[in-house]
Structure 1
């Protein structure tokens, strides 16, 4: 043992490079495992998250695309209620609040059963009524708690008020908890 220790001390450069190589290898493997664990192995942070799937198709240009609305509706009708299905589309939107000042916000258009499927309830107000998902229904919106606090000073009286999103007036019906995030949100 002493002889090996003396050898390593005499060859400090070799010893240092071996230690650094081992440290770098262990660090890379640890980082890869953390990414794989977070992206693939852990269930979604929702009730029954392991039973929720994101459905997309390969577009003609080669990239992944979400299902067109007509195809989603056809799939939903084909399951005849055997599966819970919901749709969403995330995008940057223009919002004009009750103060009249415009701002860009990140939001998602979702189908009426979206939050029921995720088992997420608003902390204030109510969720979507199935009738509000029908064509011609009055536009309604659920706001995230962070946006509600930052843009509206956490005003509980905002419920029932109208705000403008992309030029269309929407009635605020509820506030979602802070932890609710969408897959393609920053």
Structure 2
């Protein structure tokens, strides 16, 4: 079945004891495996076999499921259309893997575009990065200086306030003395 280029489609496969299931996403799509759920009693080990980017064979255990304790596991595995992947379950019980297909990354020549820039372009970017860092440092230093000045002012205000409070206390004592004298 042909997928619409912009569509995301649900995917699921049923694994039974020791029967490998090979999956290869449609061209231009990636397969996102999100969940493994076990049906039945016992325990099941779910494994996969695929090929690395370098072309080496990879065999891996992706989960172990046990009835009544861990009968479902979430995961996030992504497989490209250019390399098939094979899943197999070992043990008692059926396992359902589920996830979705989604359009893969575009195969543009964008990477090659970056390679076409010469050393000069790289130097300009480095220079801009350094300028930006220097500006950030200057801004931080200015902010620290302002903060220090604000603290000094605040400390000065606090001293003035405490002196005024002492004066107020002295005034109230004088008022009390005058009342006693009268």
Provide the TM-score with structure 2 as the length reference: 0.23
The higher-RCO structure (CA 8 Å, 6+ apart) is 2
Q: Which has the larger radius of gyration?
A: 2
Q: Which has the higher strand share?
A: 2
